[in-house]
Structure 1
Amino acid sequence: MERTTSSYTAGHEPGGALRRFESAGADPREAATTYSDAYGGGSLRVRAASGDFAYRYAYIGDERVTLRTSECSGVLSGDVLHLQEYVVGWFRRGGGTLDLRPVTRRGSDTSDPLLLPAERRFSLEFEPHRQNLIHFAPEFLEKVATEQHAGPLQPISFDYAAPADPSMLDRWRTAVGEATQAIARVGAGPLVRLAAELDLARVLLRLFPWRAWDVPESIRTPAAWRTRVALDYLHHHAHDPIAPADAAEAAGIHTRTLQQATRRHFGMSPSTYLRNIRLDRVHRELTERDPGSATVAEIGRDWGFGNLGRFAASYSARFGERPKDTLRR
């Protein structure tokens, strides 16, 4: 059996060290260890499909963004427990499935990019493949996201059930090509590299729908991933006619379990939590809309508040002013 070889180098440049890593060989067990490490831990397995087995996993990048390549002639499968980086990948050959419980996403060499879920458990099964991936450091992508949501640094909640925006795919491919040149080309320089990484991050945030919200540290753990999934669902679907039971179902838990979790972490019921999300969306619209063409009643009804008296009281209790005063500012 051929021995697996691994190498890691880190260059020292202004603006961040450029890192390179490669692991390759013919031992499925060593491949499984490499992939488990690359996906932040978990229990990944590699099974030789037929004939001679070989794999190669490599990346190049810095502390903000790494460009990665995976080539594996076997089947890669198992659970990813708590991926902490933001990762997008696409297949150049072969394909595979992400089981997001209850949503399943399928990728192939003819399909669009796929997001790999961060800070939640999921399963994967990849056929023999060649795949490209891009890993974004959490703080870097979250800082770029503040350009759009204008709030403090917060975790990004992508809607992993949503496909990529078709209108952004060409722009994404262009950004990937430019970032590859800036990161992989010798002598590109740290300023060129950062500019390409910023552009890549900005395009990613237009490629998939997302929300940024203040996620408590207590539910950013492997043990609380189902609670996180349920709350992400409420944030992504607050504009839809949903109930807490729908969020619980999306996370694979009982509604009573979700009730206990929101009371423990936030001191309120899931219904109150959802109402507060909608109040926050109303507040944002009131600050952005033209008071000459928008009305409080219209915006309130759009977010499910049919009783304007109760709505005004809830809004005032949360924001310390009347909704009409927010609209006038």
Structure 2
Amino acid sequence: MTVSASLTRQQITAEFHSPDSACRWMCGINGPHRLEVPHPKELSFRHQGTSLGNVSIGIIEYSTPVHIDIADLTHSYSISLPLHGTQSFELRGDAFGSDSGVAAIISPSQPLQLSMDESCRKRLVRLSRQAIERKLSQLLSHELPRPVIFDPRMPLSGTVQEWWRMVANLQEMLDAEGSLCDLPEVWSNFENSLITSLLYTQPHNYSSELLDRQQGRPAYLSRLDALFRDSLDQPLGLADLERATGVSRERLYRDFHTHFGVSPIAYFRQRRFEHVRQRLEQATPMESVSSIAMDCGFQQLGRFSQEYKARFGELPSETLKRRSTIPLQ
């Protein structure tokens, strides 16, 4: 193993044939994790890469099937694209595969299981959690109340493919002697472009708010939409919306009519009816119209049924009955 530095740039080369040594090395990269190697005598672990500032780019391979359990990346985002072979993930109860056509991005605070086949050789990008959150906070002009969680699957098409081409170009520059990357002002621009373009390219839990700012829609509307999603089973009044946003009633009316064509309460009420309709369409045999309606915060059942029919052209009982006649597969 050799580590050399050029200014703040660290060129890293590691090679191990012991599972314990490979695990210790990757613990220093991704934090504590468990490595299972069914055929330890066949292990030939290699990691070549470069770290500079808030970015690390490299190539990793094990040359034998491995299974890895990671509790929490904690301080960084791990983004990988197999150049050869395949890898598979189990994350938040969801399983998906990753190959040369589908990259993967793992966010902090996301326990996961990762399996790599014997031919998997992948490009690995690590981005600082602090740098991601700082840049998104700048783009949104407010502190982030929740961690940034990306959709884990990254199909290579459109702007995602362009982003990976940028990564490959940066890796080539980082690997070169006397690179422009050694100039702090130049690297700062490269790093900023890599992080900013990822935030606009790959969906995450702040994407809609980021898009709103692009389109000139007030950012508080996205935060209010999140409040609506969390309050679908209870009524909200204008006073609640004013307290939650710090925005006047007059501006609430003006912005909702401008961007949604209805008043704030009418918009929220439509969201609640769409929610109850979805519940009726997915009802179990033990559920009834009244139980679902009351569970969703509708107490006056007669009025609820009338308004439901006016919105959807059928009574809630008809929606429920149609769902119950769908044959089981």
Query: For residue 168 of structure 1, what is the aligned residue in structure 2?
Result: 159
Using the TM superposition, give the Cα deviation of residue 98 of structure 1 relative to its aligned residue in structure 2, in angstroms: 1.0
In the TM superposition, residue 32 of structure 1 has moved relative to its aligned partner by 2.7
Does residue 196 of structure 2 align to residue 196 of structure 1?
no
CA change 1:46–1:143 in 2 (3 A) is same
SS at match of 1:47: coil
| Amino acid in structure 1 at the alignment position of 2:27 | S
**Structure 1 contact 95–107 (Cα < 8 Å) conserved:** yes
How far apart are 1:121 and its partner, in Å? 1.3
Q: What is the SS of the residue equivalent to 1:160?
A: coil
- 1:318 matched to 2:244: yes
Which residue is 2:6 aligned to? 11
**AA partner of residue 65 (structure 1):** V
**Take 1:183 and 1:159, find their aligned partners in 2: how far apart are those partners?**
26
| Structure 1 residues 194-234: Cα deviation after superposition (integer angstroms, max 9, x where no partner) | 2222211122112311235xxxxxxxxxxxxxxxxxxxxxx
For each residue in 1:235-280, what CA deviation from the matched residue of structure 2 results, as whole angstroms up to 9, or x when unmatched?
x9xx9xxxxxxxxxxxxxxxxxxxxxxxxxxxxxxxxxxxxxxxxx
Give the deviation of 1:26 after TM superposition.
Answer: 2.4
CA shift in 2, pair 1:306/1:21, >3 Å: closer
User: Which has more radius of gyration?
Assistant: 2
Partner of residue 276, structure 2: none
Residues 1:97 and 2:88 aligned together: yes
- Of residues 47, 59, 65, the one that matches 1:57 is 47
| Cα displacement (A) at 1:326 | 4.4
Letter of the aligned partner of 1:208 in structure 2? Q
Match of 1:114 in 2: 104
Aligned partner of residue 98 in structure 1, secondary structure: strand
Q: Which amino acid aligns with 1:185?
A: A
User: Pairwise mapping of residues 274-289 of structure 1 onto structure 2 (< 5 A)?
Assistant: 288-289=216-217
Deviation at 1:162, TM superposition (A): 5.1
Unmatched tracts of structure 2, length 5 or more: 256-329
What is the Cα deviation at residue 172 of structure 1? 0.9
> Is 1:71–1:130's contact at 8 Å kept on the other side of the alignment?
yes
Equivalent position amino acid for 2:59 in 1: T
Q: Residue by residue, what CA displacement relative to the aligned partner does 1:167-213 show, whole Å, maximum 9, x if unpaired?
A: 2123213311332243222221333222222211122112311235x
Distance 1:191 1:55, change over 3 A: same
Aligned to 2:70: 80
> Is the 2:58–2:171 Cα contact (8 Å) retained in structure 1?
no
Question: TM-score by structure 1 length?
Answer: 0.63
- Secondary structure (helix, strand or coil) at the match of 1:20 reads strand
Q: Label 1:29 to 1:169 Cα distance change in 2 as closer, same or farther (>3 A).
A: same
Q: Which runs of 5+ in 1 are unaligned?
A: 1-5, 213-235, 240-280, 291-295
1:317 is displaced (CA, Å) by 2.5
3-state SS of 1:210 partner: coil
After TM superposition, give the deviation of residue 70 of structure 1 in Å. 0.4
Q: Please name the residue that 1:211 is paired with.
A: 205
Q: Secondary structure in 2 aligned to 1:183?
A: helix
Matched, 1:142 2:68: no
| RMSD between superposed Cα atoms in Å | 3.5
Instruction: Give 1:53 deviation, angstroms.
Output: 3.5
CA contact (8 A) 1:86 1:118 kept: yes
Deviations 1:274-302 (A, max 9, x none): xxxxxxx7xx89x9549xxxxx9xx98x9
CA contact (8 A) 1:24 1:54 kept: yes
Q: Given residue 56 of structure 2, which amino acid in structure 1 is its aligned partner?
A: T
- The CA distance in 2 between the partners of 1:158 and 1:289, in whole Å, is 22
Letter in 2 for 1:74: T
Identity value in percent: 15
What's the counterpart of residue 326 of structure 2? none
For residues 310 and 112 of structure 1, the distance between their equivalents in structure 2, rounded to whole angstroms, comes to 42
Could you say which residue in structure 2 is the equivalent of 1:247? none
User: Aligned residues, how many?
Assistant: 241
**Matching residue's letter, 1:62:** L
Residue matched to 1:219: none
* CA–CA separation in structure 2 for the residues paired with 1:115 and 1:91: 12
SS in 2 for 1:317: helix
For the 8 Å contact 1:79–1:124, the answer to whether it is kept is yes
